[in-house]
Structure 1
Amino acid sequence: MSEATYPPLDVLKPVADGLWIVDSGPLRALGIPLPVRMTVIRLRDGSIWLHSPTRYDPQLHQDIAALGPIRHMVAPNIAHWTFLKEWQTHCPDALTWGAPNLRQRGQVRRSGLRIDRVLDDAAPPEWAADLRQVVVPGGLSFREVAFFHGASRTLILTDLVLNLEPAKMPALLRPLLRLARMTTPDGQPPPYLRLVIRLRRRAAVQAVSELLALEPERVVFAHGLWFMRDGTAHLRRSLRWLGAFG
């Protein structure tokens, strides 16, 4: 187990009525040990929606299935898809939804991952009553689909915020992570991703403005300490690098 993670790992943790998270990892990206997180929602029809599935674990699968049938599995951007193939094997009746441009990636095609539906700005009928969604664009085919769970006022992101706790990181990396502004209390995505999103800054600002207008109370994301309260204020500060939110 790595100090970078948020144990207990690979277990359901309740956040709000009908919403859970699963902490897992660590993953390594550019030498950084990253905690990673899945979000689980029970929709009004009783079915289960998995956002950015983490590594497959039989007991975790059993515990999630006890909440309801797993019907939807979401790959919310072009990076968060690598664990989906095994979940597909064990959940053959679930639909896999992918971010725009994910299906075209060579790695994805070679992996044999099945993308059943492509996400866009309009929530599909399958979950429109529970979730709003907004596509945040960037250059180089980057897209991240954000989701808002109205019942709990929870915004679900993936890599748009990266909020690492320095104490959980290797000592030699801490100064670099602070310099890159990827640490608490209001961490930002890595510099390369900020650059990619700035390639479509105007459209990204418009999308993020829509997210802020939802006034989320909490913001869950894939890597680091998520915003358990005062989500809108934290999010505004985390996204100040876009130059439009103060």
Structure 2
Amino acid sequence: MALPQTRFIETTLRSPLMQLPVRTVVFELEKGRVLLSPASVLTAEQLQEAGPVTDIVAPSLMHTAGMKAAAKAHPTARLWGPIGVRKKLPELTWHGQLDVDPWPFGRELSLHPLQGLPKLRETAFLHTASKALYLTDMVFNIPEPKGLAAWLFFRMFGTYRRFAVSKLFLRYVKDWPAFEDSIAKLAALDFQHVIPSHGDAVLNEGKPRLLAALRERQLPA
């Protein structure tokens, strides 16, 4: 998979019951290099290979486990995370909170918070140069799940061997009007590709497939 100004670092989170693919992304922007969602299993070498990172982003409260190692590998980088991240990881020095403090890369990499999820605080990102929409845990797309419990887990949450909105993710919604409003805004964005944190990217047909996945869960699309 090759997209403009973008590099992917593919890793796998392994447990006795399941293997979960995890995607970390590096964006080479005009005035910065952004490391998005560093995986907890990235090695020091992989983190250094990301290049001169200026900013490191945790896109949700569920994707913070790799921030300590990433900050250590790139000590001058600014750290960004959702509301609540300072309380979750007080030992790190956070530069800003997503959707609160000014984000300096909005023209090239715009952020789109999904509201109504106080325990997750997921933020989607739209990369202008490639027209790619990045989602963290809202959608999964793992065609060949591995592990003894993979069948049970992905079946339970409606994502077994298919691109779909996770039913587990929807269980975290506490304010449905706010969530549906943010989903409607997300669906209106101009994008061609959908890049989930877990599973295969959906290239070229990303928008129609995401809209179909949203409609399947009776969400605005």
Q: Which residue of 2 aligns with 1:75?
A: 58
Q: Which runs of 5+ in 1 are unaligned?
A: 1-13
Three-state SS of the structure 1 residue aligned to 2:34 is strand
Q: 1:156 aligns with which of 117, 134, 141?
A: 134
SS of residue paired to 1:239: helix
Q: How does 1:60-71 map to 2 (within 5 A)?
A: 60-65=46-51, 69-71=52-54
Q: State TM-score, norm by structure 2.
A: 0.88
Q: CA RMSD in A?
A: 2.3
CA distance in 2, matches of 1:114, 1:242: 38
Q: Which amino acid aligns with 1:119?
A: L
Say if 2:18 and 2:148, in contact at 8 Å, map to a contact too: no
Query: Which whole-Å CA distance do the structure 2 matches of 1:217 and 1:150 have between them?
Result: 10
Deviation at 1:176, TM superposition (A): 5.0
Q: Tell me the residue number matched to 2:157.
A: 180
Determine helix, strand or coil for the equivalent of 1:24: strand
1:153-198 deviations in Å (ceiling 9; x for gaps) = 0111111112222x33236542552342113432222x3321112x
Using a 3 Å threshold, how does the CA distance of structure 1 residues 135 and 214 change in structure 2: closer, same or farther?
same
Q: CA offset at residue 217 of structure 1?
A: 0.7
| 1:35 maps to 2:9 | no
2-structure distance, mates of 1:171, 1:142? 27
Instruction: Give the match's secondary structure for 1:187.
Output: strand
User: 2: CA distance between counterparts of 1:123 and 1:181?
Assistant: 36
Matched residue SS, 2:22: strand
CA–CA distance in structure 1, aligned partners of residues 102 and 133 of structure 2: 14
Higher relative contact order (CA 8 A, sep 6+): 2
Q: Give the aligned partner of residue 134 of structure 1.
A: 112
In 2 relative to 1, CA 63–141 (structure 1 residues): closer, same or farther, beyond 3 Å? closer
Q: 1:3 aligns to what? A: none
Tell me, which stretches of 5 or more residues in structure 2 are unaligned? none
Q: Is the contact between residue 52 and residue 76 of structure 1 (CA under 8 Å) also seen in structure 2?
A: yes
Does 2:90 match 1:115? no
Structure-1 residue corresponding to 2:8: 21
Residue 177 of structure 2 aligns with an amino acid whose one-letter code is R
CA distance in 1, matches of 2:113, 2:199: 22
Of the three residues 162, 184, 192, the one matched with 2:168 is 192
Deviating beyond 4 angstroms after TM superposition, the runs of 4 or more aligned structure 1 residues are: none
- In the alignment, the residues of structure 1 paired with residue 117 and residue 147 of structure 2 have an alpha-carbon distance, to the nearest angstrom, of 31
Verify the 8 A CA contact 1:121 1:133 in the aligned structure 2.
no
Question: Which of 86, 90, 96 is residue 69 of structure 2 equivalent to?
Answer: 86
